[in-house]
Amino acid sequence: MKTDINSLYYDELNEEILAMGLPKFRTAQVFSRLHEKLCTSFDEMTELSVKLREEFVDKYEIRTVKAVKEQVSKLDGTRKYLFALSDGNLIESVLMKYHHGNSVCISSQVGCRMGCRFCASTLDGLERNLTASEMLSQIYEITRLTGERVSNVVVMGSGEPMDNYDNLIRFINLISCDKGLNISKRNLTVSTCGVVPGIYKFADEQLPVTLALSLHSVTDEKRQTLMPIAKKYSIDELMKACEYYFDKTGRRITFEYSLVRDVNDLDEDAAGLIKLAGRLHAHVNLIPVNPIKEREYRETTGPRVIEFKNKLEKSGINVTIRREMGRDIDGACGQLRKRTMDESTGKEGQGA
Ligand code: SAH
């Protein structure tokens, strides 16, 4: 099997290059071609002789994703991409344009095994982990297609990043590498459903990355009905892990809270959220749940969302309503992939 060259750190690539009997300036050349100039084939590396390019082709694979569908939101210009991996699996990525720059939301796994009730990514379970190169390639491909510089990355697409830990760390180090796209770690966010040992391990890396916790409920009982992971770790254990993360990295935690009508948008929910967010000085990101046809959950309506936000704000909580970007283009996690797969297997229309 060929080596996945885009998942190698600079030093690892250097070892490979030296083992091929090449001088080390080749490492700088090849690494820059891959991670700065975003080449997708060795043929583009014209500073290498044809013979040398053939040697690379024999030994190495440049893993890329290929766009098979692109949807542009008429509401806000958000672009959603359906990408095919080299083995035919499909994943989704999203480009969002903000005043402060372009943000890309990437997937970390094909599918997901966490089973959150409202989420489309997990309906068919986990297919496989993405390699670091496949996470990078989502950003590289969007940069190539749009010609725009990406300044922020959120690992908030399909998959649970803590369930693909080693590749996640490799991805973070490569995307922020000064010999590559050099996106600051401070502009990276990793979102987890709350895998407690993963949070501790991630904290110990002491990377200045923002951690977002998908909280969605303030009592264990309610959280367990929405998220199976809550049966494994209590909210109290989660809060301790988040405190540890804040102590180790100095980065404030973000709580993600998807508002589900009559489920987690009651006064008692707001009161509980004020307590938890206050204790951690967390930033709260509210979003009305994006309903999927397979489940009965409905979103909290506009005025109620504002009311919920105002309650938090009055208590001094730092809160934003996430712009519902691309709601007209299957904006929520895994919806476009799921729909495309169902269409190709004739399952369309069988959902709830
Ligand atoms: N596994 C990670 C990251 C992927 S999901 C995590 O759980 O955090 C990114 C965010 O979108 C999570 O907060 C998730 O709970 C939320 N989400 C998933 N499906 C949604 C939907 N249909 N509507 C609103 N939010 C959703």
Q: What is the pLDDT of residues 286-300, one digit of tens each?
A: 999 999 989 999 999
Distance CA 204, CA 194 (A): 16
List residues bridging with 296 in a β-sheet.
Answer: none
Task: Give the position, in ligand 1's atom list, of the atom nearest the Cα of 297.
Answer: 22
- Is residue 92 annotated as part of the catalytic site, yes or no? yes
Q: Is 249 exposed, middle or buried (0-12, 13-18, 19+ CB in 10 A)?
A: buried
**Tokens 């820059």, located at residue:** 32
- Per-residue pLDDT at 351: 28
Which of 287, 333, 338, 339 maximizes ligand 1 atoms within 8 Å of its Cβ, making it the mutation to test the pocket? 333
% of residues, the chain, pLDDT over 90: 88
Q: Beta 152-155 vs 101-105: how paired, if at all? A: parallel
Distance CA 276, CA 203 (A): 19
Of the candidate CATH numbers 3.20.20.70, 1.20.1530.20, 3.40.50.300, 3.40.50.1010, the domain formed by 73-345 belongs to 3.20.20.70
17-36 per-position pLDDT tens digit: 999 999 999 999 999 999 99
Q: Indicate the Cα dihedral angle 270, 230, 320, 141, nearest 10°.
A: -170
Q: Which of 204-213, 298-307, 316-325 has the lowest average pLDDT?
A: 316-325
Distance CA 168, CA 187 (A): 15
% of residues, the chain, pLDDT over 70: 94
Cβ atoms of residues 190 and 242 within 8 Å: no
Phi and psi at residue 129, to the nearest 5°: -75, 155
- Per-residue pLDDT at 100: 85
Domain residues of the chain, as ranges? 3-61, 73-345
In CATH terms, the fold of domain 3-61 is DNA polymerase; domain 1 (1.10.150)
Coil, helix or strand at residue 108: coil
Distance CA 260, CA 272 (A): 16
- Per-residue pLDDT at 327: 61
Q: Whose CA is nearest to atom 10 of ligand 1?
A: 156
* Predicted confidence (pLDDT) at residue 336 exceeds the cutoff of 60: yes
Distance CA 60, CA 79 (A): 31
- Per-residue pLDDT at 346: 54
144-183 per-position pLDDT tens digit: 999 999 999 999 999 999 999 999 999 999 999 999 999 9
Listed in order, strand segments (DSSP E) in 184-274 are 188-192, 210-214, 254-259
- Is residue 307 annotated as part of the catalytic site, yes or no? no
* Predicted confidence (pLDDT) at residue 345 exceeds the cutoff of 90: no
* Predicted confidence (pLDDT) at residue 235 exceeds the cutoff of 70: yes
